[in-house]
Amino acid sequence: MRFLSTISSRLDGKGRVSIPAPFRAVLEADRYPGLFVHPALEVPALEAGGNRLLAEIDQLIGRYPPYSEARDLVATALLGASETLKMDPEGRVMLPERFRLHAGITSEVVFVGLGDKFRIWEPGRFSGHLVEAKASLAKLRANFPEATGNSGSGSVKGET
């Protein structure tokens, strides 16, 4: 099971938002007690998930030597700034004000599935990010083997 799709939602008057049912199903299958959330590092959004996201973070932190400055910085940014949000029986979580400020969230959100995790965006910011992502993807596609005529035979175009 993976987090897939883009789903819009609104915050209620108390700052709660309902996690989409398909996303809750993935979290339940992952057996994470709630919703692990941290501010995304490179974009104004929130990264969220469960055990698979935590495993990804642990793997990243584990690339650095124990007690190194780099390890401390990564752990602080990803774990120290995180929180496990508890879901109520209706599948709602309270988004803390510091998370809403980071993402620019006021009254509406967009949940964007990214496989092992998902992001929570302010809709306008996500629209801008999606435009940039599509433009960047178009540039990347020029380097895909199919675009350069490489049939996957193991040779690189221009080799003899």
- pLDDT (tens digit, 9 = 90+) per residue, 25-63? 999 999 998 999 999 999 999 999 999 999 999 999 999
Across 93-121, average pLDDT: 97
Question: Of 140 and 16, which is predicted with more confidence?
Answer: 16
Neighbouring C-beta atoms of residue 30, cutoff 10 Å: 18
The neighbour count for residue 5, using CB atoms within 10 Å, is 12
Would you report the helix, strand and coil content of the chain in percent, each value rounded to 5? 40, 20, 40
The reported pTM is 0.86
Name the band, by pLDDT with cuts 50, 70 and 90, for residue 10.
very high
Mean of pLDDT values over 121-139: 94
Q: What angle do CA 54, 2, 52 make, to 5 degrees?
A: 15
pLDDT, mean over the chain: 91
Annotate 72-83 with b (16+ C-beta within 10 A) or e (fewer): eebeeebeeebe
